[in-house]
Chain A
């Protein structure tokens, strides 16, 4: 299935291991959110994390971009390990993400929201900006060009001057993806990008995710509950249950994995 949806040959074939998670354990007080989880993400691949509610998927994503700090284990990016990385350092290393509950800046326009995604690339200081002079002005123009490309890519030209609070849910999800993309990330973490969407919006979102992967070569790690979507668009799948990894492999392997079927897809009692 995954073969059918990816264009062939892929512009960016799946490469070496880019990100690896080694024996990560995370607990909050007495609650173990993650226990001894290990997996890796290869360059340019679409990697899905699935599991029942409360399995630790979002916690895993929060560990990957430095919102949570695991008590045990290491995260390696291109072989370099990181401890207690804070989230803006993760952003600086090329990890961008979207949130399960949309985390846009509600009072700002679509354009401004996406422009904030490029903040790490801006070099001018606030004095130059106050005078709208030289580098500050040039920079605004250069980044406006870059942002307009993302806007074209995700087909949201018609709402660029609208405050995001006024947009429908599906479009807000797309704007959030645009803000993450504007940072030109190496790795894109998507937390339930299709939650609460109707079939058509889901199809659009799938197309955008595959297009991003194909056009920019961005490595994608996504959490999703819709099994059809996961099986269709991902190269490999990790399955979590109660904070432990119970399966890892291609969609076909996961489909046939008895532990996964028992834990997640359900068994007859």
Chain B
């Protein structure tokens, strides 16, 4: 009943082209931002910030990056973790070697270096597609980690290859508490998500989707294939690079190259698939599902065993969590192969008509 667009008329194209043309959606977004920026910092505990919220936001950003490449431009990549590693290590080097550089500029440099690496490893996409491209991007994963391990300059000659992220300071304010790091991450993620949405609803996004859906037709109507594919790789890797820098500075603190193994690339790919291929919202839903559900399952099992005073072994608890998690993934993929974002969209369409079926 509440979610109706009746009476909301749009009389100009500008109104029709808003990101959220329906008033209720705009109100909901404002509420969500208010909760994120004001309510959460007041109520959340240290544990919430550093174990739940910050990794959720960072993985949302990485998923957003991969979604631009895989979901919108249709190019499969398994190099996400490598792009994140480039972002993290180059942000570290920028901060280390350029005196007086603002931390946000270092993050941007990290992102730009990742974009450059992304363009290089995007070159095979001009010739190969699908699974073969995925395997080609796998090379990026191994080559980047190998380089970081072998070139001492990148880790500032640290013997173990581990770097310690410098402290984050913006305009004299030091971001050292989990809450302040959370707010910094949230701000960056929110702005970059807005930019991604704007890109995807304008010419660049349409060119990406055209290449994804029918590349021959895209070329015939004048979309340059090479530029479009490489731009997709560059933008996607930039997002992943910034996510990697945030992962190092706001989450891990001390970073070893092995923090960016292939496993992370797969996790981000699963987030894209479960959240919704080709959806900005889906990136957040997918990242939320994969980072938060295991923790809630853990809390749930602990709660049950405490409440009913059942003695459950630790091994059993962790195995139960894995089983439930796997089951949930299969359940959601069968119910809606297009991801959580599509489920949400169907729910909204139903809600607009409720209580009538049509």
- Nearest residue in A to B199 (C-beta to C-beta)? A130
B183-205 with Cβ < 8 A to chain A:
195-196, 198-199, 202-204
Across the interface, do A129 and B217 meet the contact criterion of CB distance under 8 Å? no
Stretch at the interface among B40-48, B136-144, B167-175, B220-228: B220-228
Q: Which chain A residues numbered 74 to 128 have a C-beta less than 8 Å away from chain B?
A: 86-88, 90-92, 96-97, 99, 103-108, 112, 115-117, 119-120, 122, 124, 126
Selecting from B91-99, B207-215, B266-274, the interface stretch reads B207-215
- Assess whether A179 is interfacial by the CB under 8 Å rule: yes
Give the CA-CA distance A131 to B14 in the complex, in Å. 15
Any chain B CB within 8 A of the CB of A183? yes
Specify which chain A residues have a CB less than 8 angstroms from the CB of B13 in the assembled complex.
141, 144-145, 148
* A129 touching B214, Cβ below 8 Å: no
- Assess whether B263 is interfacial by the CB under 8 Å rule: no
Report the minimal beta-carbon distance from A48 to chain B, rounded to whole angstroms. Answer: 21
**Of the residues A67, A91, A116, contact of B216 by C-beta under 8 Å:** A67
Please give the number of chain B residues whose Cβ is less than 8 angstroms from any Cβ of chain A in the complex.
30
CA distance A22 to B209 in the complex (A): 37
Known: A112-B206, A129-B203, A141-B13. A97 touches B220 (CB 8 A): yes
Given known contacts A92-B222, A116-B206, A119-B206, A126 and B199 CB-to-CB distance under 8 angstroms: yes
In the bound complex, do residue B220 and residue A67 qualify as a contact, i.e. CB atoms below 8 Å apart?
yes
A106-B213 in contact given A88-B219, A126-B199 (Cβ < 8 Å): yes
Q: Which of A92, A97, A129 lies in contact with B199, CB distance below 8 A? A: A129
Q: Are B222 and A119 in contact (CB under 8 A)?
A: yes
Contact B235 A183 (CB under 8 A): no
Contacts A103-B216, A105-B214, A107-B212; A132 near B202 (Cβ below 8 A): yes
Q: Does A140 contact B (CB under 8 A)?
A: yes
Hey, what's the 0/1 contact readout for B8-40 against A, CB within 8 Å counting as 1?
A: 000001100100000000000000000000000
B222 in contact with A91 (CB, 8 Å)? yes
Q: Is B110's CB within 8 Å of the partner chain A?
A: no
**Given the complex, which residues of A lie within 8 Å of B223, measured CB to CB?**
88, 116, 119
B81: interface (CB < 8 Å): no
The yes or no answer to B218 lying at the interface (CB within 8 A) is yes
- What 16 additional pairs, Cβ within 8 angstroms, besides A105-B214, A116-B221, A126-B204? A87-B220, A91-B222, A105-B209, A105-B213, A108-B213, A115-B203, A116-B206, A116-B210, A117-B221, A119-B206, A120-B221, A122-B203, A126-B199, A126-B231, A129-B203, A136-B202
